Amino acid sequence: MENELIIYNTDDGKADVKLYSRDGVIWMNQQQMALLFDTSKQLVSHHIANILQDKELEENSVV
């Protein structure tokens, strides 16, 4: 398993997000997602809860 740090900067300079890649999969925490999508951590959490409730993803594989 190889970890890689990726730094993403938006063109407007508003977001500077550090992403972790492991085996070709990007991992972000809720705060990083909120910054990247210019929204609140609470809204990201709400969407994640809906995704898990609808069983689009399995909680053990993504949390």
**Pairwise CA distance, residues 15 & 47, whole Å:** 20
pLDDT at 1 over 70: no
Q: Cα 47–62–20 angle (5° rounding)? A: 100
**Pairwise CA distance, residues 36 & 12, whole Å:** 12
Name the strand (E) or helix (H) holding 52.
helix 41-53
Residue range 5-40, pLDDT digits in tens: 888 888 888 778 888 888 888 888 899 889 888 899
